[in-house]
Structure 1
Amino acid sequence: LFIGNRAQATNWDLVSSLNIKYIVNASRDGSSPFPSIQYFTCPITDTEKTDLSEACRLSWDFIESAYQHSPAGAVLVHCASGISRSVALVAHYLMRKECISYDESMRRIRIKHPAAAPNAGFTLQLRLLEASFR
């Protein structure tokens, strides 16, 4: 499971070298440039008032389905900058999949992606959800 930005998601050399077969696009640019990749687009506005609940639920379903159909294939979750929206969706996925707290999910993400910084509204929503995953 990878987090990236728009430039990385449209770089075929990078996508193919990481064996990415599925892409979650959380940006408002709904492009899907590679026909061999399966895309899920869930445009999220990067504001503190944006409700993440539907995007979290739908991206969870897509990622789980991706790993069931292609266990060896990787999934890339991206937004414009790869800092807030995509990180929030991956944090949610890890919290739910691993039954971990928001803080633990962010600790794991920041080991590989130090710039990860979901906005305050996303952070609050994820913190409120964490009890339901434990």
Structure 2
Amino acid sequence: MVPVLPGLFVGGAAAGVGALRAAGVGALLSVDAEAPPPLAGIRALHIPARDEPGADLLSHLDSCAAFLSAARAGGGAALVRCHAGVSRSIALVTAYLMKTNNLTFEEAYAKIKAIKPDAKMNEGFEWQLKLYEGMGCKVDVSSAIYKQYRLQKVTEKYSELQNLPQEVFAVDPTSVCQTLNSEILYRCRKCRIDVPSFVTRAFWPTLKEVDQQPLLTRGLQILLNFVMTVRSNVPLISLSRYSGWSQFC
């Protein structure tokens, strides 16, 4: 258990209740596959996540920051804990430093590494924190960055979306510069459902009309239903896994 800021510690599961009480910890933020048993007199927030690049921490960063700030208010202390104390907990504390100290991802991560040399979050968490920085250290559900992040999570969940036959793919429309209000629609000739261009861009390589077979598999229909609930005219964003993001056109 290592102090990061006054009233903020980071560590692994080895820290027992005695160590927490000795450090004056009154709040525990845990991030692990399973929630730890409750500790008497200690407020707790659990984020269910494995130490895997695809685990979603981004969606929880604001609620974690609010929990830690409330715990530290008035001189209290909080511990951010995962199993080993080197990846998931480090990612949450790095995001907290970015948000509260107005630091970039690189600055916050360097500060953590200087305090805890064995800190090493996985590449997926690094990518998510860079997206968080791109949103101004706020989880903005109306942001193009966040919407396409969620779309990617849907495609990861439904593997059939990643394995459509090659004959349904066409030339990448992002190679042609489009204005923000000029949206290309792709239509399945069999089911006649329009696929907006920002969906096809998130679903690279892109889709084309198919004569011989239905384009919309069960998984793609789920994706489209999700997309149509959040659709709006926003800049098109390409989320290149683990390497930040860039804007098209």
* TM-score, normalisation: structure 1: 0.89
Contact map agreement 1:2 1:77 (CA 8 A) in 2: yes
Partner Cα distance (1:125, 1:30) in 2? 22
Between stretches 24-33 and 77-86, larger displacement belongs to 24-33
Runs ≥4 residues deviating over 6 A: none
Amino acid at match of 2:116: H
In structure 2, the residue matched to 1:2 is: 9
Partner Cα distance (1:16, 1:92) in 2? 25
Superposed CA offset, 1:32-89 (max 9, x none): 3421111111111211112222221221121122223xx2111100011001110000
In the alignment, structure 1 residue 91 sits paired with structure 2 residue 94: yes
In structure 1, the residue matched to 2:224 is: none
Other structure's SS at 1:6 match? coil
From 67, 74, 79, give the equivalent of 2:72: 67
Structure 2 regions of 5+ residues with no counterpart? Answer: 1-7, 138-249
In structure 1, the residue matched to 2:105 is: 102
Partner Cα distance (2:89, 2:113) in 1? 13
Which structure has more RCO (C-alpha within 8 Å, separation ≥ 6)?
Answer: 1
Bigger radius of gyration among the two: 2
Other structure's SS at 1:118 match? coil
Contact map agreement 2:38 2:44 (CA 8 A) in 1: no
* TM-score, normalisation: structure 2: 0.49
Partner Cα distance (2:49, 2:69) in 1? 20
Aligned residues with identical type, % of pairs: 29
Equivalences for residues 1-134 of structure 1 within 5 A? 1-8=8-15, 11-68=16-73, 71-131=74-134, 132-133=136-137
Q: Which has the higher helix share?
A: 1
Amino acid at match of 1:2: F
Partner Cα distance (1:107, 1:5) in 2? 19
Partner Cα distance (1:85, 1:93) in 2? 13
Contact map agreement 2:11 2:81 (CA 8 A) in 1: yes
Between stretches 85-94 and 106-115, larger displacement belongs to 106-115
Tell me how large the CA RMSD over aligned residues is: 1.4
Other structure's SS at 1:26 match? strand
